[in-house]
Amino acid sequence: MQFIQELYELLIATFFDILPIAVIIFGFQFLIIRKRVKNLKAVLTGMVYVLIGITFFLLGLEQALFPIGRSMAQQLTDPEFLESVRLTVGELQWQDYYWVYIFAFAIGAGTTIAEPALIAVAMKANEVSGGAIGVWGLRVAVALGVAFGLALGSYRIVVGAPMHYFIIVGYVIVVIQTFFSPKIIVPLAYDSGGVTTSTVTVPLVAALGLGLAETVPGRSPLIDGFGLIAFASLCPIISVMAYAQLSEFKDARALKKTLKEEYYVKKSTTKPNERD
Amino acid sequence: MKQTLRLFINSLLGSVRDLLPIVLVIAFFQIVVLQEAPDNLLQTFIGLFFVVLGLTFFIFGLEQGLFPIGESMAHAFANKGSIFWLLTFAFALGFGTTIAEPALIAVADEASKVVAEAGLIEVSEHAMERYADGLRITVALSVGFAITLGVLRILLNWSIQYIIMVGYMLVIVMTGFAPDEIIGIAYDSGGVTTSTITVPLVTALGIGLASAISGRNPMLDGFGLIAFASLFPIIFVLGYGMMF
């Protein structure tokens, strides 16, 4: 019974999330464009599918992942647990939080793979690039970026370094990479920073940041609890451009190799002729 | 009917695969590191089943509803040739989808607490509420501005990297002048604005525009709207913070 209540509440909440978007879309469609939508019935069914999909998705997350994720974030940052797995003696050092970094990395990668908005963008990028950008290649690149970003962000909370230094260094790396990356990937890479942090990642990440800021001595949950999301949206830009640079580098090397082989083949076949 | 069923089962399996990594991560940490079973194993499995089902429905709806409507509107605007209405639509879409975003409401409330504790505003419910509302409107305006600018970029063929770089410079300079308490919130606000429904819709709009206007490449010009929507909130929120 409680379950049906929850389902109903979520359905209503999601409906009101979608409502302003639907009003804007159909308002402009009927008042400004004034053209009939092709397959209006299919589009409307599609919207209903999206509504149902997001509702069930959130319901499942609330039931299965969020409670476990939150309690794990709490347990891993608990001083008692840290005391039992520590590497150093005396006061807790930043190294003693190693399970936190590993957890941040793993949960960042895992939640990003399941992020619906990223699946959507990867599908579009694959279609538009004519298959040159693989759906899984992009998703894994983004996931690794988020994973690294969260691990780095957790480290920052533990040591208490000012966040803007990290962000500025990240910006500098992005700018340098922009000049050396294949042109075609740059806009997509910039976009992938924004798509990573929505339904699945944000709630889990917030729990982790809050847990850390509450238990690490000298940190304030109000000030230091923020910032993880910023890391999770900056690092994928870097990792996606790196992914494109790597595949370009590999392609270039493969091309060089084939050219070289062809050259040798030519050389060996032309030699006898020269003797004649 | 049989084909639809097969399609459905296939994408259900796809969703299971999407979810597998996070299940493995949680299982590993529960069993190996924390060495305990989660309290409610049955509830967890039912929940996971719902997540898989929800993801499958979402992707079905994406291909049938969100992508086509986004692209068809982009084409219709491009054919109609009314730049004014296109930009108005872009602004409305950005503003309208952000102002009601639950993640943003939560962050704005949190932010008002931080700022009140730092003594930048009065510690009264009224002042905090006003601050939070102001912040929400600021972020929504910034996303509306970002999508509008992004659409204008596609129309006028500006190259994205220079706009992004100017944006980064602004962030860095403003960080030096903004109160410390707002910096973390500002940086985070870039990430919370782009929701699961907005992203596919805005992406489809950009790609639809880039493919409808001749001389534009959908890969080079179609993407980038989301990037603006996650950069400009940072700048606007830093600016908002500097006013107090």
Distance CA(B65)–CA(B59), nearest Å, equals 10
The pLDDT value recorded for residue B1 is 66
- Give the Å distances, CA to CA, from B33 to A83, A137, A140, A214, B50: 14, 30, 25, 21, 27
Higher pLDDT, B216 or B190: B216
Distance CA(B180)–CA(A250), nearest Å, equals 44
Q: What percent of chain A has pLDDT over 90?
A: 33
Task: Determine which of A74-88, B52-66, B67-81 has the lowest per-residue pLDDT on average.
Answer: A74-88
Q: Which of A103, A207, A225 is nearest to B22 (CA)?
A: A103
What number is the average pLDDT over the span A175-188?
93
Q: Got the DSSP string for A202-262?
A: HHHHHHHHHHHHHHSTT--HHHHTS-HHHHHHHHHHHHHHHHHHHHHHHHHHHHHHHHHHH
What number is the average pLDDT over the span B120-138?
89
Kindly tell me if the per-residue pLDDT of A82 is higher than 60.
yes
Task: Determine which of A161-175, A204-218, B226-240 has the lowest per-residue pLDDT on average.
Answer: A204-218
Q: Which two tokens stand for residue A187?
A: 């806009």
* B166 close to B159: Cβ distance less than 8 angstroms: no
Task: Determine which of A168-177, A251-260, B163-172 has the lowest per-residue pLDDT on average.
Answer: A251-260
- Give the Å distances, CA to CA, from A135 to A22, B93, B202: 28, 27, 19
Higher pLDDT, A82 or A142: A142
The pLDDT value recorded for residue A118 is 92
What single letter denotes the amino acid at residue A187? P
pLDDT, chain B, mean: 88
Q: Which two tokens stand for residue B222?
A: 């179609």
Which pLDDT band holds residue A276 (cuts at 50, 70, 90)?
very low
**Scanning every residue of chain B, which has its alpha carbon at the shortest distance from the alpha carbon of A104?**
B25
- What are the tens digits of pLDDT across the range B27-51? 888 888 888 776 678 888 888 899 9
What single letter denotes the amino acid at residue B128? M
> A225 Cβ partners below 8 Å, 6+ apart?
A157, A206, A209, A210, A212, A213, A214
Would you mind telling me the total number of residues written for chain A in this entry?
Answer: 276
* A236 close to A142: Cβ distance less than 8 angstroms: yes
Which pLDDT band holds residue A266 (cuts at 50, 70, 90)?
low
- Report the alpha-carbon angle A62-A68-A72, nearest 5: 140
Burial grade of B213 (CB within 10 A; 0-12, 13-18, 19 or more): middle
Q: How many angstroms away from the CA of A90 is the closest CA of chain B?
A: 23
What number is the average pLDDT over the span B162-185?
91
Kindly tell me if the per-residue pLDDT of B204 is higher than 90.
yes
Q: Which two tokens stand for residue A14?
A: 């999601």
**Scanning every residue of chain A, which has its alpha carbon at the shortest distance from the alpha carbon of B171?**
A168
- What are the tens digits of pLDDT across the range A106-133? 999 998 998 899 999 999 999 998 888 8
Q: How many angstroms away from the CA of B149 is the closest CA of chain A?
A: 15
Which pLDDT band holds residue A1 (cuts at 50, 70, 90)?
low
Which pLDDT band holds residue A267 (cuts at 50, 70, 90)?
low
The pLDDT value recorded for residue A268 is 61
Dihedral class, residue B35 (left if φ above 0, else alpha if ψ from -120 to 50, else beta): left
* B91 close to B148: Cβ distance less than 8 angstroms: yes
Cβ-defined contact of A119 to B204 (cutoff 8 Å): no
Kindly tell me if the per-residue pLDDT of A200 is higher than 80.
no
Decide if the complex's ipTM is over 0.85.
Answer: yes
The residue of A115, A128, A129, A204 whose CB has the most chain B CBs within 10 angstroms, and thus the best one to mutate to test that interface, is: A128
The residue of A21, A101, A129 whose CB has the most chain B CBs within 10 angstroms, and thus the best one to mutate to test that interface, is: A21
Chain B contact set for A29 (CB, 8 A): 73
Kindly tell me if the per-residue pLDDT of B210 is higher than 90.
yes
Distance CA(A154)–CA(A145), nearest Å, equals 14
Q: Which residue has the tokens 């929850």?
A: A6
Kindly tell me if the per-residue pLDDT of A263 is higher than 80.
no
Distance CA(A152)–CA(A140), nearest Å, equals 18
Task: Determine which of A91-95, A135-139, B129-133 has the lowest per-residue pLDDT on average.
Answer: A91-95
The pLDDT value recorded for residue A275 is 43
Kindly tell me if the per-residue pLDDT of B244 is higher than 60.
yes
> B92 Cβ partners below 8 Å, 6+ apart?
A24, A28, B144
Distance CA(B81)–CA(B75), nearest Å, equals 10
Q: Which of B168, B135, B231 is nearest to A171 (CA)?
A: B168
Which pLDDT band holds residue B118 (cuts at 50, 70, 90)?
confident
Which pLDDT band holds residue B227 (cuts at 50, 70, 90)?
very high
Distance CA(A171)–CA(B164), nearest Å, equals 10
Distance CA(A230)–CA(B182), nearest Å, equals 13
Distance CA(B129)–CA(A256), nearest Å, equals 63
The residue of B197, B201, B205 whose CB has the most chain A CBs within 10 angstroms, and thus the best one to mutate to test that interface, is: B197
Distance CA(B25)–CA(B30), nearest Å, equals 9
* A167 closest CB neighbour out of B51, B114, B187: B187
